[in-house]
Amino acid sequence: MEPKRLNKFISDSGFCSRREADRLIEEERVTVNGKLPEAGVKVTPKDKVRIDDQLLSVRDEAPVYLVLNKLSGMSATADMGVRDNVVRAINHPASLQPIGKLDREDEGVLLLSNDSDFVRKLSKADSRLEKELVVTVNKPFSPEFISKLSEACASFEDGHPKKAVVNKESTTRFRITLEPGMNHGIKKVCEAMGYKVTFLQRVRVQHITLTKLQKGHWRTLTAAELDTLKQVAAAKPGKPAAKGRPDAKEFSPRGASGREKASFDRGGHQKPDRSAAPERGGAGKRIGKSRPAAAGPGGAKGTRGGAKGSGKGAPERGGFKGGAKKGGATRGGGSSGRSR
């Protein structure tokens, strides 16, 4: 691993941002190998970097960027003290962090990465990401509900409101597109109008969809997907960022097509995508349930739900390991529970 500037090393450890690291260094709360660091010092994982006597560590691994079709009942956190967290469940070799929020009982698109700068910047830019949700409420709603929901989630451009696009899919289910700057707190909005959300699935973030991605499975982001997300993360608040463009065959921005509607059952839950069954062959690719990585190019199994290293030999696709735990998610992903 190439030497890194001290503030970058601290940031990559997940302890804090680079700016906060600079402040800690100025306050002389950081030591390198038992000594106060000189200005501009660079360090490697072999150096012992401490903040207030807490030893930091950064694993030597290539950057990884994933999209997961999260199951209901799995917690979107990297905290190993939390039961059924997604990082342990997918068992990827890299030290992943979830990006943004998705409540335990909710399903759908969840982004993860081991690039701490990317995770932090994109998490802060979460409200600038366009999202599409499929939501089921506890009782039939009227056309007035759809109108009020659209207005309640509106954003303002040049002082003029821009309403959210809401499409009715059944008497209790709707699909809503939330553009940057809109109110993303759908559950609270529905609650304020006297409805309880019983099912929520995030089917799209920007141009990243669940197409051919079964529940509980993940894949590596494409170069185009990653580039668009980095543009959003780098954009200044208030300035429009690139949306990206999904494949026209894979995504219809005006709501669900007949085929998409057929993919949901009457309760609003997505049916299994049989077209995305595990495949065989394909150099460097793996589809289906993930297994611990073997020693060698991919590294030996680590302590954070996977293996050290994520360069050569790292899987590009996979799924939750070993199925759901008692009290956690079921095979179909249904569970009880609270998101955005």
Please indicate, yes or no, whether residues 32 and 177 belong to a single structural domain of this protein.
no
Mean pLDDT of 31-53: 90
Domain boundary among the residues 261, 276, 291 is at 276
Q: How many helices (H) and strands (E) does the chain have?
A: 8, 17
Domain housing 202: 65-276
Contact 14, 116 (CB under 8 A): yes
Q: Measured between alpha carbons, how far is 158 from 241 in angstroms, rounded to an integer? A: 17
The per-residue pLDDT for 221 is: 97
- Least confidently predicted of 57-66, 220-229, 318-327: 318-327
Total domains in the fold of the chain: 2
Do 35 and 149 have their domain in common?
Answer: no
d(CA 223, CA 156): 32
Q: Which amino acid is at 183?
A: N
Start-to-end CA span in the chain (Å): 38
What DSSP character marks residue 290?
A: -
In a domain, 259, yes or no: yes
pTM reported for the whole predicted model: 0.64
**pLDDT at residue 183, as a whole number:** 84
**Cα–Cα distance measured from residue 307 to residue 285, given in angstroms and rounded to the nearest whole number:** 17
Contact predicate 51/24, CB 8 Å: yes
Same domain (yes/no): 173, 237: yes
CA distance 88 to 322: 11
In this structure, the chain runs to a length of: 340
Task: Examine the domain organization and report whether 23 and 150 are in the same domain.
Answer: no
Co-location of 138 and 96 in the same domain: yes
Handedness of CA 79, 84, 266, 252 (dihedral sign): positive
- Which one of 22, 47, 103, 273 is the catalytic residue? 103
Shortest CA distance to 105 belongs to which of 66, 68, 70? 70
- Domain with 27 in it: what CATH number? 3.10.290.10
Q: Which candidate, 96, 94, 100, 90, places its Cα nearest to that of 113?
A: 96
Q: Strand 155-157 to strand 107-113: parallel, antiparallel, or no bridges (unpaired)?
A: unpaired
Is the alpha carbon torsion for 65, 71, 76, 79 positive or negative? Answer: negative
Residue 258 lies in a domain: yes
**For the chain, how are helix, strand and coil distributed in percent, rounded to 5?**
20, 20, 55
pLDDT in tens, 185-235: 999 999 999 999 999 999 999 999 999 999 999 999 999 999 999 999 988
41, 131: one domain: no
Residue 117: active-site member: no
Q: Which of 276, 299, 332 is the last residue of a domain?
A: 276
What is the reported pLDDT for 318?
A: 78
Instruction: Convert the pLDDT of each residue in 255-302 to its tens digit.
Output: 444 444 444 444 444 454 444 433 333 333 333 343 333 333 333 233
The answer to whether residues 24 and 82 belong to one domain is no
User: Quick one: tokens of 183?
Assistant: 């109110």
Tokens 């199925």 sit on residue: 323
pLDDT band at 314 (very low <50, low <70, confident <90, very high): low
Q: Are 73 and 174 contained in the same domain? A: yes
Give the rounded percent of residues in the chain with a pLDDT score beyond 70: 69
Q: Name the band, by pLDDT with cuts 50, 70 and 90, for residue 116.
A: confident
The reply to whether 49 and 155 lie within a common domain is: no
pLDDT of amino acid 92:
86
**What are the distances in angstroms from CA 140 to CA 28, 115, 136, 196?**
60, 43, 10, 11
